[in-house]
Amino acid sequence: TQLLEQSPQFLSIQEGENLTVYCNSSSVFSSLQWYRQEPGEGPVLLVTVVTGGEVKKLKRLTFQFGDARKDSSLHITAAQPGDTGLYLCAGMNSGYSTLTFGKGTMLLVSP
């Protein structure tokens, strides 16, 4: 069974602070996705990283995929209250349509 360890589980910060969320595994994934979920809604895809060493930017969010395709990070610069939500990393496996989810990071950004 492939596992994704996500840390931290909870993060409470003030508006304007920076933060990093980590997603680690001992297994190789064909690609890795990050989702954000707001209360009462389904997860929404933020990004897919496919190539080892890849870096993708989405406004104030920076996503990295490890060289060995086993780990990933999400860095948020100058967090805003609108960034509050559950951040989920999910690994995808070659030849399969299913995702392996990390346990999620609940982020609370206070004004």
Partner 1 sequence: DAMVIQNPRYQVTQFGKPVTLSCSQTLNHNVMYWYQQKSSQAPKLLFHYYDKDFNNEADTPDNFQSRRPNTSFCFLDIRSPGLGDAAMYLCATSRGIHVGRRNNQPQHFGDGTRLSIL
> By rule CB under 8 A, what string of x and - marks binding of each residue 5-34 to partner 1?
-------------------------xx-x-
- Give the end-to-end CA distance of the chain in Å, rounded to a whole number: 40
Q: Which of residues 77-96 bind partner 1 (CB under 8 A)?
A: 86, 88, 90, 92-96
The residue to which tokens 């490890």 are assigned: 66
Neighbours of 107 (CB within 10 A): 21
Count the residues of the shown chain that bind partner 1, applying the rule CB under 8 A: 28
> By rule CB under 8 A, what string of x and - marks binding of each residue 34-53 to partner 1?
-x----xxxxxx--x-x---
Give the residue with the Cβ less far from partner 1, 30 or 77. Answer: 30
Separation CA 71–CA 54 (nearest Å) = 11
Burial of 8-31, coded b for 16+ CB within 10 Å and e otherwise, reads eeebebeeeeebebbbbbeeebeb
Q: Tokens for 65?
A: 């995929």
Minimum distance between the CB of residue 42 and partner 1, rounded to whole angstroms? 3
Give the residue with the Cβ less far from partner 1, 5 or 78. Answer: 5
106 is a site residue for partner 1 (CB under 8 A): yes
